[in-house]
Amino acid sequence: MKRREKSTWTGRRFVTVLSVSLIAIVIFSLANFDAMKQPAQAADATKENTRAIAPVGSRNETVIVFIGDSLTQGYGVRAEEAYPELVGKQLRDKGYSVKIINGGISGSVTAEADRRLRWYLRAKPQIVVLALGANDGMKGAPPDVIEKNLKKAIDLAKANGIDVVLAGLKMFTNLGDEYLRKYEAIFPRLAKETKVQLIPFLLEDVALQKEYNQSDMRHPNPKGHEVIANRVTKSLEGLLVKHAKAQTSSQTNPQDGVKQ
């Protein structure tokens, strides 16, 4: 009887040891599997986070960053219908090699302008289209503060050798004539002072036009974005010609005049 009990106990111990060993092997295998996955997952996450601001691969490609609010982001329309994307298509159709980065974020104000631009410096842009100020105006922000914020961003761009296109804006009449006068004077004065290119009114022929706006009469519909894109494209062409000449010059050896 004792011999049988001893045999049974030994068998149970063997099963227990075997079970523990199998569990340990499974846990070890799962841990190694997760460890093998983590580098790949981390690489994918890094790739996804940097994709929008990765420097271009072609030396001849001009990077254009649009920094704006919901008007630039394309509120209420598909991403490809927003005017920055349409500008890119129009310029490529004209033969220009460009990379468009749409940095429009709904609700943005001019206080964020320089910080937003600093983020996009890693993309090494040659041109920045600065289209901020609408939300400031609707909140009744002091015009001198708006101007100071925009100038800070422009100064940062110029310090990094980036050309700036400043988009002028207008405001609703319910804020009073004096505010409107001071607000609308910001853009031409600032463009003249900093010697940057000005689009007098980004929403020219679009603002308050039912045909070109969504139901809120504040955000352009796809047709409205097309009108805006046409105007912005014309404004950018001169700068792109300048950049093309500069790139050609930089590829030419000053000693023998042979292109590299």
Cα four-point dihedral sign 247, 248, 252, 254: negative
Q: Is 216 tagged catalytic?
A: yes
Residue 62 has φ and ψ, to the nearest 5°, of -90, 125
177 catalytic? Reply is: no
DSSP 217: S
Give, for 65, the enclosing helix (H) or strand (E). strand 62-68
The enclosing H or E element of 38 equals helix 2-50
Query: Is residue 44 among the annotated active site residues?
Result: no
Cβ-contact 153, 120 below 8 angstroms = no
> Which residue, among 145, 138, 196, has the nearest Cα to 167 in the 3D structure?
196
Element (H, E) at 62: strand 62-68
Partners of 111 in beta bridges: none
With a CB cutoff of 8 Å and minimum separation 6, the contacts of 24 are none
Task: Out of 58, 177, 215, 216, pick the active-site residue.
Answer: 216
Q: Considering 108, 114, 136, 219, which one is annotated as catalytic?
A: 219
Q: Return the H-helix or E-strand segment holding 255.
A: none
Catalytic residue among 70, 108, 225, 235: 70
Catalytic residues: 70, 216, 219
